Amino acid sequence: MGFPSGVKSNQRGGSCCTTSAMGEFKVHRVRFFDYMPSAIRALAFNQQNETMAVARMDGAVEIFLCSDRFFQGKIIPGREQCGIEGLTWVGERLFSAGLNGQITEYDLTNQRVKYTIDAYGGPIWAITGNQEGTHLAVGCEDGTVKLFAANEDKIQFERNLDRQKGRIISLSWHPSGSKIAAGMIDMIQIFNVETGQSIHRMLTDRGTSRSKECMVWCVVYLSDGTVISGDSGGMVKMWNDHTGTLIKSHNVSKCDVLALSVSQKEDSFVAGTSEGFVVQFQFISSVLEKNDKEWVRTRTFRNHTHDVRAVAEITTAVVSGGMDTQLVVRPLLDKIEVKSSASALQKIIFPHRSLVSCARKAGLMLFQYPGHLELWRLGESEGQGIPGSSLLVKKNPEKLLHLKVKGEDHIRCSAVSPCGEWIAYSTNSSLGLYRLHCDNNNISITKISKIPKVLSSAKLCFSSDSSHLFSASTQSSVHVVSLSQSGCKLVGTLKPKSGSHQAIHLLAASEDGKWLASANSDHEVHVYNLHTKELHCTVPIYSSAVSAMAIHPETNCLFMMHADQRMFEFSIERKQYTDWSRLVQRNGLHYIWLERDTPCLNVMFNPQNPSHVILHDTYMFCIIDKSLPLPDVKTQFLNQLTLKSLPKEKRKSHSHAFKVCKTFREMLHVELMSDQSLVVVERPLVDISTQLPAPIKQKKFAT
Q: What is the mean pLDDT of residues 232-258?
A: 95
Q: pLDDT tens-digit profile of 479-533? A: 999 999 888 999 999 999 888 889 999 999 999 999 999 999 999 999 999 999 9
Q: Are 427 and 413 in contact (CB under 8 A)?
A: no
Question: What average pLDDT does this structure show over 63-69?
Answer: 96
- In order of 327, 340, 384, 591, the CA distances from 596 in angstroms are 16, 11, 34, 9
| φ/ψ of residue 86, rounded to 5 | -145, 155
**pLDDT number for residue 57:** 95
Residue 247 has pLDDT above 90, yes or no: yes
Please say whether the beta carbons of 563 and 69 come within 8 A.
yes
pLDDT tens-digit series, residues 564-599:
999 999 999 999 999 999 999 999 999 999 999 999
Residue 99's pLDDT is 94
**Residue bearing the bigger pLDDT, 353 or 696:** 353
pLDDT of 9 reads 36
How far apart CA 148 and CA 566 sit, in angstroms, is 44
Cβ contact 147:131 at 8 Å: no
The rounded distance, in Å, linking the Cα atoms of 244 and 202 is: 6
Question: Is the predicted pLDDT of residue 354 greater than 60, yes or no?
Answer: yes
Indicate the helix (H) or strand (E) that contains 648.
helix 648-654
Mean pLDDT, to the nearest integer, of 602-624? Answer: 95
User: pLDDT averaged over the chain?
Assistant: 90
Q: Which of 43-47, 636-640, 662-666 has the lowest mean pLDDT?
A: 636-640
Give residue-wise pLDDT tens across range 279-336.
999 999 877 666 788 999 999 999 999 999 999 999 899 999 999 999 999 998 777 6
pLDDT over 50 at 613, yes or no = yes
Specify the DSSP element, H or E, that contains 654: helix 648-654
Which pLDDT belongs to residue 209? 66
Q: What is the percentage of the chain residues whose pLDDT exceeds 70?
A: 91
More confident position, 437 or 701: 437
Higher-pLDDT residue of 384 and 428 is: 428
Amino acid 698: pLDDT:
56
Residues 88-139 have pLDDT tens digits of: 999 999 999 999 999 999 999 999 999 999 999 999 999 999 999 999 999 9
Q: How confident is the model at residue 456 (pLDDT cuts 50, 70, 90)?
A: confident
The pTM (predicted TM-score) of the whole model is 0.93
What mean pLDDT comes out for the span 228-250? 95
Q: Quick one: what percent of the chain has pLDDT higher than 90?
A: 77
pLDDT over 60 (residue 377)? yes
Beta strands in 120-253 (DSSP E): 124-129, 135-140, 145-150, 155-160, 170-173, 179-183, 187-192, 198-203, 216-221, 226-231, 235-240, 245-251
Binned at pLDDT 50, 70 and 90, residue 388 comes out as: low
CA distances in angstroms from 221 to 200, 228, 241, 288, 476, listed in the order given: 14, 7, 9, 28, 41
